Structure 1
Amino acid sequence: MRKLKSSVKKRLRLLLNRLFTKSRWYNQRVFTKIYRHDLFNTRSSNDHNVSKSGSGSDLEQTKALIEQLPVLFQKYKIQSLLDLPCGDFFWMQKVDLTGIQYIGGDIVADVIKKNNAAFASEHIAFREIDIINDDLPKVDLILCRDLLVHLKNQQIIAALKNIKKSGSKYLLTTSFKNTTHNQDNGVIGFWRTINLELEPFNWKYPIDEIFENCTEGNGKYNDKYLLLYQINP
């Protein structure tokens, strides 16, 4: 009986994922549950859960980003940044944001409320944003790290289209160079590697990159990069 119930629940979840792929309400519900129950950490058995955004947001996995993002900001004259999703702002608060108007966006309302209470300032603000359905603010750079890997392929295509629609100049986003096939995500919120340069995305010819030096999975994901694209003039 227990196995039957589990099978029925799994089928129902897959059906809901197909039906509500572009639903703001459903996507918010999924990621709010993940945040409230700390599922990014528990699913990966991460004991060093310093951030509810998961092990990829600890200071070891973001060391290269903390060092290299300010260099990229200066190189491309970035003065405004949309960090989507911002999560709990755990590692980003270590990045030198001097001269940057920073907007942290996340679909989880709890995250935005806590971040604004703890970190908001004249140059730092947080907004509730759905990357698929909401109009995104026009900025110099959209940073989209470790989000698309949790979405279904159809959602990724919609998100990339919406990012370009914002009129923002650059996109810096996660891609795994050794991935040779972009498997779809069966359930929204779960994780797999993606390679944006391959089908069905075909986002080829990035103009720059940041090598993350990822050590998760005993080096299994050491092909993880942030790729920079110029998406508008």
Structure 2
Amino acid sequence: MAETRETAVTATRTTDSTRDMHDTWGTPPPAPRKGRFGRELGYLLTGLPLGVAAFSTVLTMLVLGAAGLALVVGASLLVAALAVAGAFARVERQRVAHVTGRPIPAPRYRERRGSGIPRALHALGDGQRWRDLAHALVAFPLRIVTFCFAVTWTVGGLGELLYGAWSWSLPRDEGEEGLLDLMFDISSEAADIAFNTAVGAVLLATAVPLLRGLTALQTALARALLGDRA
């Protein structure tokens, strides 16, 4: 009985110690499993419109700023491009924290000093601001790929699974029985429905690990470029 009481006390102390460590170092608990698939799907789908906005805005300002770099206007545009990239970086850090449950440590930016041209040049020398800008550009093609895979494996998989319910609406030439007929010359409506339904089942069955891998790839890029390098 005494040993049982001592074991319980030890377990309580260990739990309290772990909780204190989390409170001290700011380490968040892991993301809850419930709703994880939905968070990952939302993260990947919303990444594309966010990436389009970040890429087009930052790239336009960067090109115009570089073209007029000899002028004050050019330097101001470059500083503005870095500021916009920083705003998108803050949004991405919040998105990563939401989907993974592990926030990205906020980086330390160089404090701007002076005014006018010296202040702008000081901002242009901040390496973290350029990494924010690099993320806005580099993440865009990755977001396109992850978006396409996410839509194909979820919406496309669901559509294929329900193929038998809507395949009648597809326009067909005389004697043509769908994809299976085109691929393997098997002219059978039942076989075509069974084939497409099986494809949908496979896509949906593999959607969870696929989306998890795509999310890990995209969040890894964010952590590498947007986190505190210290």
- In the superposition, the TM-score normalised over structure 2's length comes to 0.21
The structure whose residues are more often helix, as a share, is: 2
Q: Which has the larger radius of gyration?
A: 2
Higher relative contact order (Cα pairs below 8 Å, separated by 6+ residues): 2
- In the superposition, the TM-score normalised over structure 1's length comes to 0.20
The structure whose residues are more often strand, as a share, is: 1
